[in-house]
Amino acid sequence: MVTGSGTAMRTEDFGTLADGSRVHRWTLERDGTRVRVLTYGGIVQSVEVPDRDGVRAQVALGLPDLAGYQAFPGPYFGALVGRYANRIGGARFELDGRTHRLTPNEGRNQVHGGARGFDKRVWRAREVAEGVELSLVSEDGEEGFPGRLAVSAAYTLDEGGALRIAYRATTDAPTVLNPTNHTYWNLAGAGSGSALGQTLRIAAGRITPADAESLPTGGFLPVDGTRFDFREPRPVGAGYDHNFVLDAAGTGPAAELYDAASGRVLTVTTTEPGLQLYTADHFDGRPFGPCAGIALETQHFPDSPNRPGFPSTVLRPGEEFVSTTVYGFTVR
């Protein structure tokens, strides 16, 4: 095990893909938090944190081996998704007067980067202070996206055991970019059953309402008096797959999830303007049952390239994309 200034780290083989690509697993440990990250898909395989009695449990839904992730790619368990998280309507967008046609992989739309997005790539890994940095090059035209994109994601543990994911990217041609991490959380413990009933707070006074294809209508809906009002903590119910417009990204916690039985608290802080709440209602027991985890995906808004009223996701040559999300763990 390699020890940085505060984080203990080790790496090991995790399997081999059919094309001969080797996959490795990095384990990071600090101040009671243990995180395992795969070079395949940038997947957060596990996050183990203590309860109020000091008993550590796995609180992120993960699979035990590489074959599992290949057998169940659709839920994106713990994956780094991109180039564009969430949906792009009609699998197309216009940029600088040119129409770019993407690979559709959800009906007529593209979701989470297409048929072979970031979640199905093997990333290069290197040790950095307090963790591991994963990087790859997405070539011009991959899944229809323009520009040769150099992207990295650093997974590190802060003092206190918080997991920080810091993204950076540059491009050689105008493009759009919207990566996120797709971990499902169950603070009672992965495999303990439904995560519904855990208490959630989201610092958002509006959502972007969606149509039957889960595409935004283009407007904004105040949460006042609706089931989307999580400004005060309340138990999570079923039926959510919606983008929340954060009140003040980067200035305070965007969301907080609390499990009363264990005392575990997850706090999410981000520089992103939106948070997608997904309660995984459609899980069918293979390998997890309905609502076994709650996804809190920090990102820009869905279909932003086709919605000029949304914050821009355009990245141009000479610019650097920078985004950070921190998952903090405490008890009460």
Residue 98 assigned ligand-binding role: no
100 is in an annotated binding site: no
In eight-state DSSP terms, residue 102 is P
Which residue in this structure is represented by tokens 């575990």? 264
Write phi, then psi, for 177 (nearest 5 degrees): -150, 135
Q: Say which of 29, 112, 130, 182 is annotated catalytic.
A: 182
The response to whether 86 counts as a known ligand-binding position is yes
Which residues 6+ apart lie within 8 Å of 182 measured at CB? 75, 76, 77, 78, 79, 80, 81, 85, 112, 119, 295, 297
Cα distances (angstroms) measured from residue 98 to each of 88, 145, 175: 16, 12, 11
Residue 39 labelled as part of a binding site: no
Q: Residue 100 catalytic? A: no
Query: Is residue 183 marked as binding?
Result: yes
Whether 182 sits among the annotated catalytic residues: the reply is yes
Residues 6+ apart with CB under 8 A from 27: 9, 10, 11, 12, 34, 35, 36
92 in a known ligand binding site: no
Strand pairing class (321-331; 180-181): unpaired
CA nearest to 183, candidates 316, 327, 2: 327
The residues carrying an active-site annotation are: 182, 297
- Residues at the binding site are 86-87, 182-184, 241
- Residues at the binding site for beta-D-galactose are 86-87, 182-184, 241
